[in-house]
Amino acid sequence: MKIRALLLGLVAAGLTATATAADPIVIKFSHVVAQDTPKGKAADKFKELAEKYTSGAVKVEVYPNSTLYKDKEEMEALQLGAVQMLAPSLAKFGPLGVREFEVFDLPFIFDNYEDLHKVTYGAVGQQLFSKLEPKGIRGLAYWDNGFKSFSANTPIKKPDDLKGKKMRIQSSKVLEEQMRELKSLPQVMAFSEVYQALQTGVVDGTENPISNLYTQKMHEVQKHLTLTEHGYLGYAVITNKKFWDGLPANVRTSLEKAMKESTEYANKIAKEENDLSLDLVKKSGKTEVTQLSADERLAFKKALVPVHKKMESRIGAELIQSIYKETGFDPAKL
């Protein structure tokens, strides 16, 4: 109740502060990562373009690194109107009651960025965003982080190599099922705790985009990294629906243009930073990097694609099939 009262107070203060017509429209954009990450850089790019394209009619205040709200608080803040924009990871929508977004956690649902972007830039991505509207949230764009690969202190060349390993995951029923399919032991753990858990042997391995692995120095405590690229990690840029719908039409059009260009920038630098991080991991000499052959990667795919069927009742068989249709994937042909 305290946070709700505080948020309502902030909303009231914000309305008072922006009451006069001469004042710019303020967009508070809160996120939980550092400013020099792909998401942090993209948020700053949106600020730059939004203020430019609206000729100063909009002022974007970016609050990185949980300086305004922490991970668990920010969604409520957005729904109450205390902030106007967020970019949470796609896994955050399950607890909100929109389980369809867990489709992004399915292993090998996307083979590459081209297949992924057919969904996130297309009709299926927009269909998913429409599920947020009853929650008072408008989806604006999908920003990439990257494709995840497995790491451990022992070599990973085939699915059986992860059998019995304690593997750290984000909180996700889909990811739990993924690890069980490999006969490994899923360990839900906060991202900030993973390095120490790997260092002390509390967990044996993890799955991450390479930029996360490198920037968190996990490669220093993982002897092996295998480029499985089996799963996707990304963000949704969202706004308070009532705020967005209440904007003057010309302002909203300018902000949509700024968001479109920011998204192209976000997704470009996410891929570049993962590629750069992979080079740096290799150069460190601390981790042996394995590139799977086509047959070896196919073995992982055959082992993990059964998760899709098992999660149909949770995510929706129709949604999964619509993604297959967009990407041309047919599990029966594996």
DSSP annotation string for 235-248: EEEEEEHHHHHTS-
Give yes or no for a contact between 69 and 78, defined as CB atoms under 8 angstroms apart. Answer: no
- Arithmetic mean of pLDDT over the chain: 92
What is the per-residue pLDDT for 289?
Answer: 98
The average pLDDT across 229-247 equals 97
The DSSP H or E segment spanning 49 is helix 38-53
With a cut of 90, say whether residue 333 has pLDDT above it: yes
Query: 90: Cβ–Cβ under 8 A, 6 or more apart, which residues?
Result: 101, 104, 105, 142, 233, 234, 235, 236
Q: What is the band of 16 on the pLDDT scale with cuts at 50, 70, 90?
A: very low
Q: pLDDT, tens digit, for every residue of 19-40?
A: 344 699 999 999 988 888 889 9
What is the model's pTM? 0.87
Tokens at 224, concatenated = 């092996």
Q: pLDDT, tens digit, for every residue of 100-157?
A: 999 999 999 999 999 999 999 999 999 999 999 999 999 999 999 999 999 999 999 9
Strands 224-240 and 185-188 turn out to be: unpaired
Residues, the chain, total?
334
Q: pLDDT, tens digit, for every residue of 91-109?
A: 889 888 999 999 999 999 9
Give yes or no for a contact between 320 and 312, defined as CB atoms under 8 angstroms apart. Answer: yes
Stronger pLDDT, 7 or 150, i.e. the higher one: 150
The average pLDDT across 258-276 equals 96
Tokens at 30, concatenated = 């809160």
